[in-house]
Amino acid sequence: MRKIRKFSAPEPSMRRLPAYLHVLTRLLRENRLYVSCTFISNELYLDPTQVRKDLALTGIVGKPRVGYSVEELIDKIKAFLGWDVQRNAFLVGVGNLGTALLGYQRFRLYGLNIVTAFDKDPRRIGKTIFGVDVLHVDKMTNLALRNKIDIGIITVGEDAAQEVADLMVQGFIKGIWNFAPKTLIVPDDVIVENAQLSVSLGVLTSKMKLSQTEKNMV
Amino acid sequence: MRKIRKFSAPEPSMRRLPAYLHVLTRLLRENRLYVSCTFISNELYLDPTQVRKDLALTGIVGKPRVGYSVEELIDKIKAFLGWDVQRNAFLVGVGNLGTALLGYQRFRLYGLNIVTAFDKDPRRIGKTIFGVDVLHVDKMTNLALRNKIDIGIITVGEDAAQEVADLMVQGFIKGIWNFAPKTLIVPDDVIVENAQLSVSLGVLTSKMKLSQTEKNMV
DNA sequence: TATTATTCGTGAATTAATTCTCTATTGGAG
DNA sequence: CTCCAATAGAGAATTAATTCACGAATAATA
């Protein structure tokens, strides 16, 4: 029996999907037509059943003894991640990180199209960075309403983050990608994904510390 | 009975700790001496028991009816995350993202000190970016051996990532912070933390898609 | 054509993480 | 001084995620 599409997926699974895509695009370049869970699990040091269950989320159906079609699998994963459609985004905060994101070509692969950037600093306003115009943040809400913007990227400091989020909500932006070290308050129908660098660094340094402690004990 | 320090911690807990720190440093600025789990859980929309268990990982002891000492809690969390000591780091790949990381002042708060940057592109070598010298990547391994480098930050493309990781391993770097969209192969005693932007973006766009589907059904 | 090895898919078992429930403590109010 | 309300802490119960075990399908091989 076919399972009914769930409205949520395990977040750990979602976080693994992009890694599968990296392996798969390489295989596509190498002109491989089929791939098995076993192969992917070896490449990424994961349990094969886990890979199978993750891939099943996308609705892919494999052939026993053969595996999955590489091309089809890529399409299904992209579709599952929502990377099969283009999404227009506004970016607020053209500091170092914001600038880097504006220049990150790879976002095209994920359907992310940064349309315009915003800032408060007059020295930045009026510039064009990697082909993206920088306007005053006051203009954002109205432009978002007029142009149907899907995603708001917040790369301002923690002090301004909530304020910027409020403006995005007013502009009917339904997805916020928040790089500021601040927990944002938004209505229920707005999705916030936090992408603080500190989280990742904390996991690394914490693990380094723990492994150091372990070594001292042995 | 006092629990013996574990050698590992739930990764979801580790990932929440930096958010606690954001709240706590704000409270410290506001001169608050004590804070309860209930307060923190309200700020961050988390379950109070979850907060309590997370904080317990750090070894903090609270007072009933009062809560935890803000200052002490900050120190314990920082210690648990390994942010109480300074770690020297090399960064390889001075593109947009690498440059942004070099200019990210906040890393000081986490004890991360980027000593030198490396690249292969002759146009970048010899420059000084945000006070950090850029050298040819061939010099990295020897310099790492001589200077005792704790962390290697990889901000090169996927094609060069493994090669760079190998050089870091040769230089006795025990922690790798990998921004390249590639799964790295390293010895057991080296810790790799992946920080691909695509993962976070995938969670956001995937959730946006799922919430859209849900809406269409209702 | 029959056999074998590989792989998918699924349900069960296990392990990890979260949430619930209760007890003990303690500062403040009456 | 006594009672009350807020809170930490710890163990139990629940839920989520991972891993195990096995049956069914199928391409390759003898």
Cα B197 to Cα A179: distance, rounded to the nearest angstrom: 11
Q: Considering chain B, what percentage of its residues have pLDDT values greater than 90?
A: 92
Which protein residue has its CA closest to C1' of C25? B64
pLDDT exceeds cutoff 50 at B13: yes
Question: In terms of domains, do B49 and B111 share one?
Answer: no
Query: Which pLDDT belongs to residue B212?
Result: 79
Q: How far is the CA of A61 from the C1' of D24 (A)?
A: 15
Q: Closest approach of chain B CAs to the CA of A64, in angstroms?
A: 27
The two structure tokens encoding residue B188: 């057991």
Please state the rounded mean pLDDT for residues B23-27. Answer: 98
Answer with the one of A29, A58, A81 that is the final residue of a domain: A81
What is the domain-level CATH number for residue A20?
1.10.10.10
Contacts of B190 (CB under 8 A, 6+ apart): B169, B173, B174, B175, B176
Query: Which pLDDT belongs to residue A213?
Result: 74
Q: What is the nearest nucleotide to A34, using C1' and CA? A: C7
Q: How many domains, in total, are found in chain A?
A: 2
Residue B1's pLDDT band, with cuts at 50, 70 and 90, is: very low
A178 secondary structure, DSSP code: E
Question: In terms of domains, do A153 and A181 share one?
Answer: yes
Query: Which pLDDT belongs to residue B38?
Result: 97
Q: Is residue B5 part of a domain?
A: no
Asked if B48 CB < 7 A from strand D, the reply is yes
Average pLDDT, chain B: 95
What is the domain-level CATH number for residue A147?
3.40.50.720
* A198 interaction partners in chain B (CB closer than 8 Å): 18, 21, 106, 110
Per-10-residue mean pLDDT, chain A, length 218: 58 98 98 98 98 98 97 98 98 98 96 98 98 98 98 98 98 98 97 98 95 70
Task: Evaluate whether A193 touches A175 at the Cβ level (below 8 Å).
Answer: yes
The SS3 call for residue A152 is strand
The two structure tokens encoding residue B81: 């995350």
Neighbours of A166 (CB within 10 A): 14
Q: What is the nearest nucleotide to A3, using C1' and CA? A: C10
Task: Evaluate whether B12 touches B46 at the Cβ level (below 8 Å).
Answer: no
Element (H, E) at A15: helix A11-29
Task: Evaluate whether B60 touches B36 at the Cβ level (below 8 Å).
Answer: no
Question: In terms of domains, do B69 and B93 share one?
Answer: no
Asked if B53 CB < 7 A from strand C, the reply is yes
State pLDDT tens for residues B84-111.
Answer: 999 999 999 999 999 999 999 999 999 9
- Residue contact A175–B97, C-beta within 8 A: no
* B44 interaction partners in chain A (CB closer than 8 Å): 183
Question: In terms of domains, do A53 and A121 share one?
Answer: no
The SS3 call for residue B43 is helix
Supply the range of the domain harboring residue B142. 87-199
Question: In terms of domains, do B52 and B135 share one?
Answer: no
- Residue contact B14–A202, C-beta within 8 A: yes
* A189 interaction partners in chain B (CB closer than 8 Å): 211
Cα A102 to Cα A133: distance, rounded to the nearest angstrom: 10
